[in-house]
């Protein structure tokens, strides 16, 4: 697949190369697309293990950690793992326009690779003079652009040494940045890199993220990044329904959203957002879903409302004392409690249907001077979208975090994505949202 490309590789060829029959192939994989997804996961695991040498983490100085990590990457690039190219980058180019599900999986894996380095860049930058236009998020994305661009250059020139050479140049840029006395011109330096491997990699990343211009714009206008990031003063993070019935494996609705949770890495992404917001002092709001015994007497239920009632989803015994809430399906998902139950998070009154019209969310936001809301949560096409619609109606600026949500199936997810793109002021990834929260 790396040599011929995904579209040109036939199942017959795969079976012949592997020495198996087509019957055996289809016993293990429903289609070639299923094989592609399995290959992405297998390849991602190999790549992360290759970069997981704990030696670089042993350095106390964050600058030393970053440079040691890049040395490890250079060593991997000199080895056999990427000699035929990068499966993630190749699949991104081949499939981004025709296979949206696979594109989202690739995007998720690339974001996870990028996020490995970002905290260490951030720690290193804190100890050095601030350079306009340079921050941890920018350097982390440049790392991925250089990695992918080096692979493309190596294939175009039939010279695998280009990969290591490109990363060595990036390491020198990072070293210069961390040792700068604020006299370097990051625009010139990064523009030079753009003309080589990072420029090609940025275009590759733009394709996999669903935008042909994402990577190019980021690099050529990198000196404007900090000016484009909004102040935290009037910004808040909102998570809808972060509760056991959706997120815990024994939850009533877990089976409905399990596939999307895994595809988007939703559980981990929501936690990353909560963590970033708490570190940076960004206010966090939670709009939970909850039902009581008397809600079972409603008339005129819709299909989803009837399903929730039949499954006793989000149900607690007592509306006043909240008896039976602890560890129930309506309780907050355990890993999130350390962020949400910190005495600072605003937990609104429960909403009853999809949007916040029946709770105090809008009041709480306005009383705190919030005018921009970043949203993630459950379910992407129902309550999360319902909150988006009402907050837009109420005059808020709303940013939807498309991989920090989960919907019941790919069709529901795609429907939500279409609506987000038409209604929200902006649709971003978790990493892009964190970049906005972290200054």
* pLDDT (tens digit per residue) in 311-361: 554 455 554 445 557 778 788 999 999 999 988 999 998 888 888 998 999
- Mean predicted lDDT score pLDDT of the chain: 77
Domain positions in the chain are 11-226, 235-437
The Cα 277–Cα 57 span in angstroms is: 25
User: Above 90 in pLDDT, residue 238?
Assistant: yes
What is the rounded average pLDDT of the residues 229-242?
Answer: 78
At residue 168, φ and ψ (nearest 5 deg) are -65, -40
Distance, CA of 73 to CA of 79 (rounded, Å): 10
Q: Are 3 and 94 in contact (CB under 8 A)?
A: no
**CATH fold of 11-226, please?**
Tetracycline Repressor; domain 2 (1.10.357)
Where does the pLDDT of residue 199 fall: very low under 50, low under 70, confident under 90, or very high at 90 and above? very low
- The pTM of this model reads 0.48
From residue 261, give the alpha-carbon distance in Å to each of 1, 249, 408: 28, 11, 9
Q: Select 235-437's CATH number: 3.40.190.10, 1.10.287.610, 3.30.230.80, 3.40.50.850.
A: 3.40.50.850
User: How far is 144 from 127, CA to CA, in rounded Å?
Assistant: 23
pLDDT of 162 reads: 76
Q: Distances from the Cα of 359 to the Cαs of 66, 183, 300, 302, 385, in angstroms?
A: 46, 52, 20, 20, 16
Question: What 3-state DSSP class applies to 111?
Answer: helix
Fold matches, 11-226 and 235-437? no
265: alpha, beta or left? (left if phi > 0; alpha if psi -120 to 50): left
């Amino acid at each position: 697949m790396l040599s011929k490309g995904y579209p040109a590789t036939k199942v017959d060829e795969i079976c012949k190369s592997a020495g198996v029959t087509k019957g055996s192939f289809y016993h293990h994989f429903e289609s070639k697309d299923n094989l592609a997804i399995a290959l992405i996961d297998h390849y991602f695991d190999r790549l992360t293990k290759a970069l997981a040498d704990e030696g670089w983490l042993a350095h106390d100085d964050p600058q030393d950690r970053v440079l040691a990590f890049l040395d490890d990457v250079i060593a991997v690039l000199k080895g056999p793992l990427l000699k035929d190219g990068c499966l993630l980058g190749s699949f991104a180019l081949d499939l981004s326009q025709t296979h949206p599900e696979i594109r989202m999986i690739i995007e998720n894996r690339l974001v996870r690779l990028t996020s490995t380095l970002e905290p260490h860049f951030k720690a290193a930058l804190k100890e050095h003079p601030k350079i306009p236009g340079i921050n941890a998020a920018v350097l982390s994305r440049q790392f991925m652009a250089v990695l992918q661009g080096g692979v493309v250059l190596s294939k175009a020139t039939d010279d695998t040494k280009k990969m290591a050479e490109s990363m060595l140049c990036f390491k020198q840029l990072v070293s210069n940045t961390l040792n700068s006395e604020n006299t370097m011109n990051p625009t010139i330096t990064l523009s030079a890199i753009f003309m080589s491997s990072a420029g090609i990699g940025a275009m590759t990343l733009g394709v996999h993220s669903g935008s042909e211009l994402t990577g190019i714009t980021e690099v050529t206008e990198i000196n404007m990044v900090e000016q484009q990031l909004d102040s935290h003063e009037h910004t808040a993070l909102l998570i809808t329904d972060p509760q056991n019935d959706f997120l815990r494996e024994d939850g009533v609705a877990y089976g409905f959203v399990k596939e999307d949770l895994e595809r988007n890495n939703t559980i981990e992404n929501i936690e990353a957002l909560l963590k970033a917001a708490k570190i940076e002092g960004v206010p966090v709001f939670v709009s939970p879903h909850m039902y009581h015994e008397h809600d079972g007497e409603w008339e005129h239920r819709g299909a989803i409302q009837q399903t929730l009632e039949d499954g006793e989803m989000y149900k607690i015994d007592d509306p006043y004392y909240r008896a039976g809430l602890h560890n129930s399906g309506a309780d907050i998902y355990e890993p999130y409690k350390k962020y949400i139950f910190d005495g600072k998070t605003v937990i609104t009154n429960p909403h009853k249907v999809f949007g916040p019209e029946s709770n105090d969310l809008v009041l709480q936001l306005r009383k705190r001077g919030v005018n921009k809301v970043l949203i993630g949560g459950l379910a992407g096409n129902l309550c999360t979208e319902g909150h988006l619609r009402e907050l837009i109606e109420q005059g808020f600026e709303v940013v939807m975090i498309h991989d920090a949500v989960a919907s019941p199936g790919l069709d529901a997810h795609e429907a939500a994505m279409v609506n987000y793109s038409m209604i929200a002021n902006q649709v971003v990834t978790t990493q892009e949202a964190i970049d906005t929260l972290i200054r």
